[in-house]
Amino acid sequence: WLRLSPPPPGAASVRGGGARCGSLRASGSSASPFLCLPQMLPLLCALLLGLGPAHAAPAGHEVTFLPGLPKQPSFRHFSGHLCIGPTQRLHYWFVEAQNNPQSSPLVLWLNGGPGCSSMEGFLKEHGPFLVQPDGVTLKYNDYAWNKIANMLYLESPAGVGFSYSEDKKYATNDTEVAHNNYLALKEFLRLFPEYSKNDLFLTGESYGGIYIPTLAEWVMQDPSLNLKGIAVGNGLSSYEINDNSLVYFAYYHGLLGTQLWKDLQTFCCSEGKCNFHDNSNLNCTLKIVEESGLNIYNLYAPCAGGVPGSMRYEGDYLVTHDLGNSFIRMPMRFSWRQVTRNKVRMDPPCTNSTAPTMYLNSPEVRKALHISPDAPEWQVCSFEVNRSYKRLYTQMNDQYLKLLGAMKYRILVYNGDVDMACNFLGDEWFVDSLCQKVQVARRPWLYSEGGENQIGGFVKEFTNIAFLTVKGAGHMVPTDQPLAAFTMFSRFIKNEPY
Catalytically annotated residues: 206, 419, 475
Nearest partner of 111 among 264, 279, 236, 238, judged by Cα: 236
What are the DSSP E strand ranges found in 234-277? 269-270, 273-274
Eight-state DSSP code of residue 61: G
3-state secondary structure of 412: strand
Angle between helices 208-219 and 397-405 (to 10 degrees): 40
3-state secondary structure of 81: strand
Eight-state DSSP code of residue 337: G
Nearest partner of 413 among 494, 482, 498, judged by Cα: 498
In angstroms, the CA 336 to CA 279 distance is 28
Determine contact, residues 206/236, Cβ cutoff 8 Å.
Answer: yes
Q: What are phi and psi of 497, to 5 degrees?
A: -60, 140
In angstroms, the CA 81 to CA 22 distance is 5
Class of residue 273 by CB neighbours under 10 A (exposed 0-12, middle 13-18, buried 19+): exposed
Determine contact, residues 385/114, Cβ cutoff 8 Å.
Answer: yes
Q: Which helix (H) or strand (E) holds 146?
A: none
Angle between helices 424-433 and 239-252 (to 10 degrees): 130
